[in-house]
């Protein structure tokens, strides 16, 4: 695999200078109507629903290797492709794709900082031209190192070296807003809403590094610990996963299914 030569978090100005690079694959996970109106030159569209699996009542599960192989091959992915993902919501859907790439061992990827908001609002070129990828044969293999399932959390929830980071709203965390059979949170979980990492005054970019480190360390989330991120479906928490990676956190896992899995199982412990 070609060595990753791009930063994990890429700025619009840097990306614009590299448009047209044959090894770059721009993937747009915005709403389809937004992609139809405007998107980055050369960007292919990916429907978010294609990269998640549903087994009611659980949503946001990880598709199997065969399905991921088909999806990534349909995008035109090769081993040497560097993916730059973005969306129109601050990066949640884009980061779920990047976490998925991590899971299948494809680590050549970047998040466009601020996504479509930063790109368009700062005057970079957009187009309405639809781009169709050239299909490839891509083989996805699941790497468990980046995944925490329900049993893994049950086995590690009392480990002082493991932090369960709940990125839902405070109302969901407290069990006031309930989107599963039961409300509340995983015992001992720390709550930082995913948008707390965004700078709304800079077109939904990630906050500056020093601000993010202060936020995390104020909650005891330090680099010597393993961090498990989750939300309702591992959509918002995928953004937090990528944010942690961008700060150099080495032990980070995502919980596919998240609260839709935990809160719909009557045998899991909860607090509220």
Closest alpha carbon to 85 in 77, 149, 151, 270 = 77
Closest alpha carbon to 193 in 149, 146, 240, 227 = 240
Which entry of 43, 68, 98, 231 is annotated as an active-site residue? 231
Task: Tokens for 35, please give them.
Answer: 């992609």
Closest alpha carbon to 258 in 227, 237, 242, 243 = 237
Rounded alpha-carbon distances, angstroms, from residue 230 to 44, 195, 256 = 28, 14, 8
Widest pairwise Cα distance in the chain: 53
Give the C-alpha separation, 85 to 25, whole Å. Answer: 8
Question: 58-61 and 53-55: which strand pairing?
Answer: antiparallel
Task: Tokens for 98, please give them.
Answer: 């990047």
Q: Catalytic: 231?
A: yes
Closest alpha carbon to 100 in 245, 252, 256 = 256
Task: Tokens for 236, please give them.
Answer: 């918002």
Please provide residue 170's backbone torsions phi and psi, each rounded to the nearest 5 degrees: -55, -30
Annotated catalytic sites, by residue? Answer: 231
């Amino acid at each position: 695999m070609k060595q990753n030569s791009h930063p994990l978090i890429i700025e619009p100005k840097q990306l614009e200078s590299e448009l047209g690079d044959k090894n770059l694959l721009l993937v747009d996970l915005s709403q389809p109507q937004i992609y139809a109106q405007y998107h980055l030159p050369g960007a292919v569209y990916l429907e978010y629903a294609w990269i998640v699996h549903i087994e009611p009542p659980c949503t946001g599960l990880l598709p199997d290797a065969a399905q991921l192989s088909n999806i990534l091959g349909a995008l035109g992915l090769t081993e040497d492709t560097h993916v730059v993902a973005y969306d129109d919501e601050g990066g949640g859907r884009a980061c779920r794709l990047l976490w998925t790439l991590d899971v299948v061992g494809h680590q050549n990827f970047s998040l466009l900082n601020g996504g479509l908001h930063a790109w368009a609002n700062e005057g970079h070129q957009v187009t309405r031209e639809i781009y169709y990828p050239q299909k490839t044969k891509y083989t996805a293999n699941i790497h468990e190192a980046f995944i925490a399932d329900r049993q893994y959390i049950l086995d590690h929830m009392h480990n002082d070296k493991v932090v369960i980071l709940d990125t839902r709203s405070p109302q969901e965390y407290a069990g006031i807003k309930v989107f599963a059979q039961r409300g509340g949170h995983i015992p001992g979980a720390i709550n930082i809403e995913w948008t707390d990492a965004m700078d709304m005054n800079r077109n939904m970019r990630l906050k500056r590094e020093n601000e993010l480190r202060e936020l995390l360390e104020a909650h005891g989330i330090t680099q010597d610990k393993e961090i498990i991120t989750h939300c309702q479906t591992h959509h918002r928490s995928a953004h937090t996963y990528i944010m942690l990676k961008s700060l150099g956190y080495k032990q980070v896992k995502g919980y596919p299914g998240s609260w839709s899995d935990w809160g719909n199982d009557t045998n899991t412990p909860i607090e509220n």
